[in-house]
Structure 1
Amino acid sequence: MALRGDWLPALAAFESAARHQNFAHAGEELHLTASAVSHHVRKLESRLGVALFQRHARGVSLTAEGRQLADAASDALTDLDGVLAVLRAGRDDRDRVRVDTLHSLAHVWLIPRLPGLVAAHPQIRLTVDTKTALTRFDDGGPDFAIRHGSGHWPGLTAHHLMDDALFPVAAPTLPGLDRVRSAADVATLPLVSDLGRQGWADWFRAADVHPAALDERHVFSDSTDALEAAAFGFGAALAREKIVTAYLASGRLVRLPGPVVPARWNYHVVYPAHRRLRPAAQMVVDWLLREAGTNPAPL
């Protein structure tokens, strides 16, 4: 049976729904409603004469026939995506790698290491975009992103990059620092906060300290800005281990008493599950994983 052009929208909707195991998530990806995705899938099932999904109260799951078609569709789209990427980028752009990451991680962890990447792979050309919003992998978007989270995102392949941990820091010149001898004493200092999902309340709970109130005087949306504020004497900051190392090494910040609390969310390299990384992007990802596993932060 020849594959006619009017099959393609239904196949695209099916492939996305199969990958997400969810019509609503597929609709978000394709800019359709969940009912439109369902209509495409039912149209495909009618033409093929087989059920591709089992529908139940909790959602949908693939039948054996659906799994067979999903595997073939995924392979075909991956191959097409690779060819289109080459045609779109052109020969001169094959070594250009586009990366999205957090400003805090780029500023104090990634950028200081980039001379090592250039030395190992001088042909690589990077475009680094920093943002707090979740990355959209649209046409012309990044090859991959570095995300801070649980490691589970629908439709994305995630490689664990590195764990993180939290502990308090302050400028050595912060007034009152000479009286800080314990985690309880940290609560007497003015506190600097960021918008991280683990904050001062979590750290004091882990330290078994229960202050009547927390003096969180200054709040910054970015973790690096919070560390900079602490370095200028605004107060004590709750630092993430991976982005504070250079501040400690330079002496701009010092560690305060109290526990090191493992972070509930960590760093991951992510990219669309249906897409193979281009060779240049895979080279950078491999380098990142080696850096995270073997090399301390440079000064």
Structure 2
Amino acid sequence: MALRSDWLPTLAAFESAARHQNFAHAAEELHLTASAVSHHVRKLEARLGVTLFQRHARGVSLTAEGRQLADAAGNALADLEGTLRQLRAGRQQAVQLRITTLHSLTYSWLSPRLPRFAAAHPEVGLSFETEAGLARFDDTGPDLGIRHGPGHWPGLSAHFLMDECLFPVAAPSLPGADDVRAPADIAPLPLIGDFARQGWPDWFRAAGLHGQLPDERYRFTDSTGALQAAAQGLGAVLARERIVTPFLADGRLRRLPGPALPGRWSYHVVYPAHRRLRPAAQAFVRWLLGDVAEHGP
């Protein structure tokens, strides 16, 4: 089927309605009326001979065919938008991409992977924002983020990145570390914690040590700070698998006996559902998910 020029406004109206799951919001974005957006969608459904939206009392939702077309239309329009922007500028410019994520994940897990992204996309610059608070994805906010959580946040699209698990580690220099033979031997050690909702009490229960009250001598907001303190021999820390890898690799920390506790939450790539990703952001998301698939988490 040849794609005629009069398909473009129809596809643009459908793509916006698919992102918002709401004809009125799409109309506001496109400076149209809701009835005009509805007309475009019905015209597209008639041409294709498929139903793209299920209409119900609470609004609309995409059908399987609608989701398939929405993915293709979103990618195509974002690529076209990026090309038009470059042509208007009159020259190729480096694109700066803003990413919000955790400091610990950036330091230990993401940074070692970035040379592969730089080699594949030298035209894209990256700006990382690692504040502890959750970023707001408004018009002046970051393009996308990597969040640690349940996988669903209001107003955000989320792609699963990887799971995690937690296990105890300590520096070889920690007094008493050489005498640890079983999980029960960890309890008398000075312990280091962070402000995460899953910590030493959960691990002790998983290890069968019920009623054990952890002696957390030191607490840190960020996991990297807790690992650095453990590397200095201050105590044992419950480490996150994805964050502790470089500390284990260079011998600053070593794993102690005991089970690996499955993480209650996972890592996800997120971005605002109400607007299309810029081509550079699309490229980063595709690269990151592909890099994890190829090289492992």
TM-score w.r.t. the length of structure 2 is: 0.72
Cα deviation, 1:71-125, whole Å, max 9, x if unaligned, reads 9xx999xx79x969x86x9676662211110000011111121111111221111
Q: Distance in 1 between matches of 2:204 and 2:189?
A: 13
State the secondary structure of the residue aligned to 1:105: helix
Letter in 2 for 1:215: D
Change (3 A) 1:93 1:146: farther
Q: Secondary structure at the match of 2:60?
A: helix
Match of 1:116 in 2: 116
CA contact 2:102–2:130 (8 Å) conserved in 1: yes
The AA in structure 2 aligned to 1:185 is: D
Match of 1:152 in 2: 152
**Where does residue 39 of structure 2 map in the other structure?**
none
Residues 66 and 229 of structure 1: CA distance in aligned 2, closer, same or farther (over 3 Å): same
Give deviations 1:11-61, integer Å, cap 9, x for gaps.
xxxx9xx759xxxxx9xxxxxxxxxxxxxxxxx99xxxxxxxxxxxxxxxx
User: Is 1:67 matched up with 2:68?
Assistant: no
Opposite residue 60 of structure 2, the aligned amino acid is R
1:105 aligns with 2:99: no
Instruction: Find the aligned partners of 2:58 and 2:141 in 1 and give their Cα distance.
Output: 33
Report if the CA contact (8 A) 1:162-1:293 is conserved: no
Tell me if structure 1 keeps the 8 A contact 2:183–2:207: yes
Match of 2:213 in 1: 213
- Which residue of 1 is the match for residue 287 of structure 2? 287
Rounded Cα–Cα distance in structure 1 between residues aligned with 2:183 and 2:157: 39
- The answer on whether the counterparts of 2:21 and 2:60 sit within 8 Å (CA) in structure 1 is no
The question of whether the paired residues in 1 share the 8 Å contact of 2:94 and 2:123 is answered with: no
Counterpart contact for 2:147–2:268, Cα < 8 Å: yes
User: 1:129: how far off?
Assistant: 1.0
Change (3 A) 1:266 1:66: closer
How many Å apart are 1:212 and its aligned residue? 4.0
Residue identity in the other structure for 2:270: V
1:266 matched to 2:266: yes
Identity of matched residues, %: 56
Q: Which runs of 5+ in 2 are unaligned?
A: 1-16, 26-33, 36-54
The aligned residue for residue 128 of structure 1 is 128
Deviates further, 92-101 or 262-271: 92-101
Aligned equivalent of 1:138 = 138
In the alignment of these two chains, the number of paired residues is 247
| Distance (Å, rounded) in 2 between the aligned partners of 1:83 and 1:64 | 34
Deviation track 1:225-270 (CA, whole Å, cap 9, x = no partner) reads: 0000000011000000001011001000000000011101010000
Q: What is the identity, as a one-letter code, of the residue corresponding to 2:108? A: V
| Worse-matched range after superposition: 168-177 or 286-295 | 286-295
Question: In the alignment, what sits opposite 1:34?
Answer: none
Deviation at 1:64, TM superposition (A): 5.0
Q: Hey, what does 1:196 align to over in structure 2?
A: 196
The correspondence of residues 162-201 of structure 1 with structure 2, limited to 5 A, is 162-201=162-201
Shift in CA distance, 64/122, structure 1 to aligned 2, threshold 3 Å: same
Letter in 1 for 2:134: L
| Structure 2: distance between partners of 1:144 and 1:93 | 20
Distance change in 2, residues 1:65/1:167 (3 Å): closer
So what's the TM-score if we normalise by structure 1?
0.71
Q: Aligned equivalents of 1:280 and 1:204: distance in 2?
A: 44
